[in-house]
Amino acid sequence: MTEISPVPEGVPAYQHRTVLLDEAVDALNLTGERVNGIYIDGTFGRGGHSRLLLSRLGPQGRLFAFDKDLQAIATAEQINDPRFTIVHDSFATMQDALAARGITQVDGILLDLGISSPQVDDATRGFSFRQDGPLDMRMDTTRGMSAADWLAIAPEQQLEKVIRDYGEERFAFQIAKAVAARRAVEPISTTRQLAAIVAHAVKTREKGKDPATRTFQAIRIFINKELEDLEQGLIAAYAMLAPGARMSVISFHSLEDRMVKQFLASKAKVEQPDRRLPIRAVDLPQPLMKLVDKTKPSDEEVSANPRARSAVLRVAERLGAPA
Protein backbone atom coordinates (compact mmCIF):
# COMPACT_ATOMS: atom_id res chain seq x y z
CA MET A 1 0.00 0.00 0.00
CA THR A 2 1.13 3.51 -0.75
CA GLU A 3 0.40 6.66 1.17
CA ILE A 4 0.05 9.66 -1.13
CA SER A 5 1.92 12.69 0.18
CA PRO A 6 2.56 15.52 0.21
CA VAL A 7 -0.62 17.28 -0.89
CA PRO A 8 -0.87 20.85 -2.21
CA GLU A 9 -1.28 23.87 0.03
CA GLY A 10 -4.90 24.37 1.01
CA VAL A 11 -5.70 20.67 0.61
CA PRO A 12 -6.15 18.80 3.93
CA ALA A 13 -3.32 16.31 4.48
CA TYR A 14 -5.47 13.25 5.19
CA GLN A 15 -3.67 10.01 4.48
CA HIS A 16 -4.98 7.70 1.80
CA ARG A 17 -3.89 4.13 1.16
CA THR A 18 -4.54 3.00 -2.38
CA VAL A 19 -6.30 -0.38 -2.36
CA LEU A 20 -4.96 -3.18 -4.58
CA LEU A 21 -2.42 -0.76 -5.99
CA ASP A 22 0.05 -3.14 -7.63
CA GLU A 23 -2.54 -5.76 -8.52
CA ALA A 24 -4.76 -3.36 -10.48
CA VAL A 25 -1.86 -1.82 -12.40
CA ASP A 26 -0.10 -5.15 -13.00
CA ALA A 27 -3.31 -6.50 -14.52
CA LEU A 28 -3.19 -3.87 -17.30
CA ASN A 29 -0.08 -5.64 -18.62
CA LEU A 30 2.10 -2.63 -19.50
CA THR A 31 4.70 -4.58 -21.43
CA GLY A 32 6.34 -4.37 -24.85
CA GLU A 33 4.84 -1.76 -27.14
CA ARG A 34 2.06 -1.12 -24.63
CA VAL A 35 4.37 0.91 -22.40
CA ASN A 36 3.94 3.73 -24.91
CA GLY A 37 0.16 3.33 -25.10
CA ILE A 38 -2.73 5.47 -23.93
CA TYR A 39 -4.32 4.71 -20.57
CA ILE A 40 -7.21 5.97 -18.45
CA ASP A 41 -7.41 6.19 -14.67
CA GLY A 42 -11.12 6.77 -14.25
CA THR A 43 -10.95 7.77 -10.59
CA PHE A 44 -7.79 9.72 -9.73
CA GLY A 45 -8.59 10.00 -5.99
CA ARG A 46 -5.25 10.90 -4.42
CA GLY A 47 -3.22 9.56 -7.33
CA GLY A 48 -1.91 6.20 -6.17
CA HIS A 49 -2.81 4.29 -9.31
CA SER A 50 -1.98 7.22 -11.61
CA ARG A 51 1.50 7.66 -10.16
CA LEU A 52 2.28 3.96 -10.48
CA LEU A 53 0.99 3.94 -14.05
CA LEU A 54 3.17 6.93 -14.91
CA SER A 55 6.21 5.18 -13.43
CA ARG A 56 5.66 2.30 -15.85
CA LEU A 57 4.74 4.29 -18.95
CA GLY A 58 7.30 4.89 -21.66
CA PRO A 59 8.25 8.38 -22.87
CA GLN A 60 5.54 8.33 -25.56
CA GLY A 61 2.81 7.00 -23.27
CA ARG A 62 -0.21 9.03 -22.22
CA LEU A 63 -2.37 8.87 -19.11
CA PHE A 64 -5.75 10.59 -18.78
CA ALA A 65 -7.26 10.69 -15.29
CA PHE A 66 -10.78 11.69 -14.30
CA ASP A 67 -12.26 12.86 -11.02
CA LYS A 68 -15.26 14.89 -9.85
CA ASP A 69 -13.68 15.91 -6.53
CA LEU A 70 -12.05 19.35 -6.44
CA GLN A 71 -9.48 18.26 -3.84
CA ALA A 72 -8.49 15.36 -6.09
CA ILE A 73 -8.15 17.78 -8.99
CA ALA A 74 -5.93 20.04 -6.87
CA THR A 75 -3.70 17.08 -6.05
CA ALA A 76 -3.56 15.95 -9.68
CA GLU A 77 -2.56 19.41 -10.87
CA GLN A 78 0.65 19.09 -8.85
CA ILE A 79 1.84 16.28 -11.13
CA ASN A 80 4.27 17.91 -13.53
CA ASP A 81 4.42 15.35 -16.30
CA PRO A 82 3.65 16.09 -19.97
CA ARG A 83 2.29 12.56 -20.36
CA PHE A 84 -0.44 13.24 -17.78
CA THR A 85 -3.81 15.00 -18.20
CA ILE A 86 -6.45 15.43 -15.49
CA VAL A 87 -10.11 15.92 -16.43
CA HIS A 88 -12.56 17.41 -13.91
CA ASP A 89 -15.52 15.18 -14.69
CA SER A 90 -16.93 11.69 -14.20
CA PHE A 91 -15.25 8.76 -15.93
CA ALA A 92 -18.64 8.21 -17.57
CA THR A 93 -17.67 11.03 -19.95
CA MET A 94 -14.38 9.40 -21.01
CA GLN A 95 -15.44 8.65 -24.57
CA ASP A 96 -16.46 12.23 -25.36
CA ALA A 97 -13.58 13.75 -23.39
CA LEU A 98 -10.94 11.78 -25.30
CA ALA A 99 -12.73 12.09 -28.66
CA ALA A 100 -12.42 15.86 -28.23
CA ARG A 101 -8.65 15.27 -28.05
CA GLY A 102 -8.64 13.07 -31.14
CA ILE A 103 -8.45 9.75 -29.25
CA THR A 104 -10.92 6.92 -29.86
CA GLN A 105 -8.99 3.88 -28.58
CA VAL A 106 -6.90 3.23 -25.49
CA ASP A 107 -4.60 0.45 -24.26
CA GLY A 108 -5.98 0.06 -20.75
CA ILE A 109 -8.54 1.45 -18.31
CA LEU A 110 -8.51 1.37 -14.51
CA LEU A 111 -11.58 2.18 -12.41
CA ASP A 112 -11.29 2.35 -8.62
CA LEU A 113 -14.88 2.86 -7.51
CA GLY A 114 -14.24 3.51 -3.82
CA ILE A 115 -14.30 6.91 -2.17
CA SER A 116 -10.98 8.04 -0.74
CA SER A 117 -10.02 8.24 2.93
CA PRO A 118 -9.68 12.05 2.78
CA GLN A 119 -13.29 12.28 1.64
CA VAL A 120 -14.50 10.02 4.45
CA ASP A 121 -12.34 11.54 7.18
CA ASP A 122 -13.01 15.20 6.35
CA ALA A 123 -16.09 16.08 8.43
CA THR A 124 -16.90 19.05 6.19
CA ARG A 125 -17.69 16.68 3.29
CA GLY A 126 -20.54 14.97 5.13
CA PHE A 127 -19.76 11.41 4.02
CA SER A 128 -19.29 9.94 7.48
CA PHE A 129 -21.57 9.60 10.48
CA ARG A 130 -18.57 9.24 12.80
CA GLN A 131 -17.95 12.99 12.91
CA ASP A 132 -20.44 15.83 12.95
CA GLY A 133 -20.47 18.00 9.87
CA PRO A 134 -22.72 19.49 7.19
CA LEU A 135 -24.78 16.89 5.35
CA ASP A 136 -23.35 17.45 1.87
CA MET A 137 -22.03 14.13 0.41
CA ARG A 138 -21.35 15.54 -3.07
CA MET A 139 -18.17 14.38 -4.78
CA ASP A 140 -18.24 17.60 -6.80
CA THR A 141 -19.34 20.41 -4.50
CA THR A 142 -19.72 22.78 -7.49
CA ARG A 143 -22.60 20.81 -8.99
CA GLY A 144 -25.88 19.24 -7.99
CA MET A 145 -27.94 19.03 -4.83
CA SER A 146 -26.51 18.30 -1.39
CA ALA A 147 -27.83 15.43 0.71
CA ALA A 148 -29.42 17.92 3.12
CA ASP A 149 -31.24 19.68 0.29
CA TRP A 150 -32.50 16.38 -1.09
CA LEU A 151 -33.66 15.10 2.30
CA ALA A 152 -35.67 18.31 2.72
CA ILE A 153 -37.78 17.76 -0.42
CA ALA A 154 -37.71 14.07 -1.38
CA PRO A 155 -41.10 12.31 -1.17
CA GLU A 156 -41.22 9.70 1.56
CA GLN A 157 -41.67 6.93 -1.02
CA GLN A 158 -38.50 8.04 -2.83
CA LEU A 159 -36.58 8.13 0.45
CA GLU A 160 -37.63 4.55 1.13
CA LYS A 161 -36.76 3.36 -2.38
CA VAL A 162 -33.29 4.96 -2.36
CA ILE A 163 -32.41 3.63 1.10
CA ARG A 164 -33.70 0.16 0.25
CA ASP A 165 -32.28 -0.15 -3.26
CA TYR A 166 -28.92 1.60 -2.85
CA GLY A 167 -28.28 0.69 0.78
CA GLU A 168 -29.85 -2.76 0.75
CA GLU A 169 -31.44 -1.64 4.00
CA ARG A 170 -34.29 -3.82 5.32
CA PHE A 171 -35.51 -1.03 7.61
CA ALA A 172 -35.86 1.46 4.74
CA PHE A 173 -39.58 2.03 5.40
CA GLN A 174 -39.01 2.86 9.07
CA ILE A 175 -36.04 5.13 8.31
CA ALA A 176 -37.90 7.04 5.59
CA LYS A 177 -40.86 7.53 7.89
CA ALA A 178 -38.60 8.79 10.70
CA VAL A 179 -36.79 11.21 8.36
CA ALA A 180 -40.09 12.60 7.08
CA ALA A 181 -41.34 13.07 10.63
CA ARG A 182 -38.19 14.85 11.80
CA ARG A 183 -37.90 17.23 8.83
CA ALA A 184 -41.45 18.40 9.52
CA VAL A 185 -40.15 19.70 12.84
CA GLU A 186 -36.65 20.92 11.89
CA PRO A 187 -34.23 20.77 8.93
CA ILE A 188 -31.91 17.75 8.85
CA SER A 189 -28.64 19.48 8.06
CA THR A 190 -25.85 17.58 9.84
CA THR A 191 -24.45 14.06 9.77
CA ARG A 192 -25.06 13.52 13.48
CA GLN A 193 -28.73 14.46 13.09
CA LEU A 194 -29.27 11.92 10.35
CA ALA A 195 -27.28 9.22 12.14
CA ALA A 196 -29.36 9.70 15.30
CA ILE A 197 -32.63 9.47 13.35
CA VAL A 198 -31.51 6.24 11.70
CA ALA A 199 -30.25 4.75 14.99
CA HIS A 200 -33.64 5.38 16.58
CA ALA A 201 -35.51 3.82 13.64
CA VAL A 202 -33.31 0.71 13.26
CA LYS A 203 -34.07 -1.73 16.03
CA THR A 204 -31.41 -4.35 15.30
CA ARG A 205 -28.14 -4.33 13.39
CA GLU A 206 -25.27 -6.64 12.53
CA LYS A 207 -22.64 -6.84 15.25
CA GLY A 208 -19.96 -4.22 14.83
CA LYS A 209 -21.84 -2.21 12.19
CA ASP A 210 -23.29 1.23 12.88
CA PRO A 211 -27.04 1.46 12.16
CA ALA A 212 -26.43 4.43 9.84
CA THR A 213 -23.92 2.66 7.56
CA ARG A 214 -26.35 1.50 4.89
CA THR A 215 -28.39 4.71 4.85
CA PHE A 216 -25.32 6.92 4.42
CA GLN A 217 -24.08 4.65 1.62
CA ALA A 218 -27.45 4.79 -0.13
CA ILE A 219 -27.76 8.57 -0.01
CA ARG A 220 -24.16 9.06 -1.19
CA ILE A 221 -24.69 6.72 -4.15
CA PHE A 222 -27.92 8.47 -5.10
CA ILE A 223 -26.64 12.05 -4.71
CA ASN A 224 -23.57 11.33 -6.85
CA LYS A 225 -25.35 9.14 -9.42
CA GLU A 226 -22.67 6.52 -8.82
CA LEU A 227 -24.48 3.55 -10.33
CA GLU A 228 -25.60 5.55 -13.37
CA ASP A 229 -22.01 6.70 -13.88
CA LEU A 230 -20.76 3.13 -13.51
CA GLU A 231 -23.23 1.79 -16.09
CA GLN A 232 -22.31 4.49 -18.61
CA GLY A 233 -18.61 4.21 -17.77
CA LEU A 234 -18.48 0.46 -18.37
CA ILE A 235 -20.14 0.88 -21.76
CA ALA A 236 -17.75 3.68 -22.71
CA ALA A 237 -14.71 1.77 -21.46
CA TYR A 238 -15.57 -1.33 -23.47
CA ALA A 239 -16.09 0.77 -26.60
CA MET A 240 -12.69 2.45 -26.19
CA LEU A 241 -10.54 -0.60 -25.48
CA ALA A 242 -8.29 -1.66 -28.33
CA PRO A 243 -8.06 -5.40 -29.09
CA GLY A 244 -5.87 -6.98 -26.44
CA ALA A 245 -6.35 -4.03 -24.04
CA ARG A 246 -7.52 -4.68 -20.50
CA MET A 247 -9.89 -3.15 -17.99
CA SER A 248 -9.24 -3.31 -14.22
CA VAL A 249 -12.22 -2.46 -12.00
CA ILE A 250 -12.12 -2.29 -8.19
CA SER A 251 -15.49 -2.24 -6.44
CA PHE A 252 -16.27 -1.91 -2.75
CA HIS A 253 -19.88 -2.98 -2.27
CA SER A 254 -22.20 -5.60 -3.68
CA LEU A 255 -24.22 -3.29 -5.94
CA GLU A 256 -21.12 -2.11 -7.79
CA ASP A 257 -19.51 -5.53 -7.97
CA ARG A 258 -22.72 -7.11 -9.26
CA MET A 259 -22.92 -4.54 -12.06
CA VAL A 260 -19.27 -5.05 -13.01
CA LYS A 261 -19.52 -8.84 -12.86
CA GLN A 262 -22.67 -8.96 -14.98
CA PHE A 263 -21.35 -6.49 -17.55
CA LEU A 264 -18.06 -8.34 -18.05
CA ALA A 265 -19.84 -11.70 -18.12
CA SER A 266 -22.22 -10.44 -20.81
CA LYS A 267 -19.23 -9.61 -23.03
CA ALA A 268 -17.43 -12.86 -22.30
CA LYS A 269 -20.32 -15.16 -23.16
CA VAL A 270 -22.03 -15.83 -26.48
CA GLU A 271 -25.23 -17.55 -27.44
CA GLN A 272 -24.31 -20.84 -29.06
CA PRO A 273 -26.35 -21.90 -32.12
CA ASP A 274 -28.12 -25.21 -32.40
CA ARG A 275 -25.45 -27.91 -32.71
CA ARG A 276 -27.49 -29.56 -35.45
CA LEU A 277 -27.03 -26.59 -37.78
CA PRO A 278 -24.30 -26.88 -40.45
CA ILE A 279 -22.07 -24.05 -39.17
CA ARG A 280 -18.29 -24.15 -39.48
CA ALA A 281 -16.27 -23.61 -36.31
CA VAL A 282 -14.72 -20.46 -37.80
CA ASP A 283 -18.20 -18.98 -38.24
CA LEU A 284 -19.37 -19.62 -34.67
CA PRO A 285 -20.06 -16.53 -32.53
CA GLN A 286 -16.99 -15.38 -30.60
CA PRO A 287 -16.85 -13.70 -27.17
CA LEU A 288 -16.06 -9.99 -27.09
CA MET A 289 -14.02 -10.09 -23.88
CA LYS A 290 -12.00 -12.60 -21.91
CA LEU A 291 -12.29 -12.72 -18.12
CA VAL A 292 -8.72 -12.54 -16.82
CA ASP A 293 -8.82 -12.44 -13.04
CA LYS A 294 -10.71 -11.77 -9.83
CA THR A 295 -8.64 -10.65 -6.84
CA LYS A 296 -9.31 -9.61 -3.25
CA PRO A 297 -6.90 -7.83 -0.89
CA SER A 298 -4.49 -10.03 1.04
CA ASP A 299 -4.81 -10.50 4.78
CA GLU A 300 -1.74 -8.29 5.17
CA GLU A 301 -3.34 -5.45 3.20
CA VAL A 302 -6.60 -5.66 5.13
CA SER A 303 -4.67 -5.66 8.40
CA ALA A 304 -2.79 -2.51 7.35
CA ASN A 305 -5.88 -0.88 5.83
CA PRO A 306 -9.23 -2.20 7.15
CA ARG A 307 -11.10 -0.15 4.55
CA ALA A 308 -9.76 -2.55 1.92
CA ARG A 309 -11.63 -5.56 3.31
CA SER A 310 -14.63 -5.33 0.95
CA ALA A 311 -12.66 -4.58 -2.24
CA VAL A 312 -12.90 -6.85 -5.28
CA LEU A 313 -10.74 -6.43 -8.41
CA ARG A 314 -12.10 -7.82 -11.68
CA VAL A 315 -10.03 -7.81 -14.85
CA ALA A 316 -11.13 -8.47 -18.44
CA GLU A 317 -9.42 -8.24 -21.84
CA ARG A 318 -10.91 -6.98 -25.10
CA LEU A 319 -10.94 -9.53 -27.89
CA GLY A 320 -11.45 -9.37 -31.64
CA ALA A 321 -11.91 -6.29 -33.79
CA PRO A 322 -12.34 -2.75 -32.47
CA ALA A 323 -15.79 -1.88 -31.14
Sign for the CA dihedral angle at 174, 178, 181, 187 comes to: negative
Q: Is 272 annotated as a binding-site member?
A: no
Angle, CA of 308, 133 and 92, to the nearest 5°: 50
| Residue 113 neighbours by CB under 8 Å, 6+ apart | 43, 226, 230, 249, 250, 251, 252, 256
Q: Is 49 annotated as a binding-site member?
A: yes
Q: Is 47 annotated as a binding-site member?
A: yes
Do residues 295 and 313 touch, judged by C-beta distance below 8 A? yes
Give, as one character, the DSSP assignment of residue 92.
G
Q: Is 193 annotated as a binding-site member?
A: no
Q: Is 283 annotated as a binding-site member?
A: no
DSSP string across 141-207: TTSS--HHHHHHH--HHHHHHHHHHHH--TTHHHHHHHHHHHHTTS---BHHHHHHHHHHH-----T
Q: Is 262 annotated as a binding-site member?
A: no
Q: Is 233 annotated as a binding-site member?
A: no
Residues in the annotated binding site: 47-49, 67, 91, 112, 119
**Binding site residues for S-adenosyl-L-methionine, as ranges?**
47-49, 67, 91, 112, 119
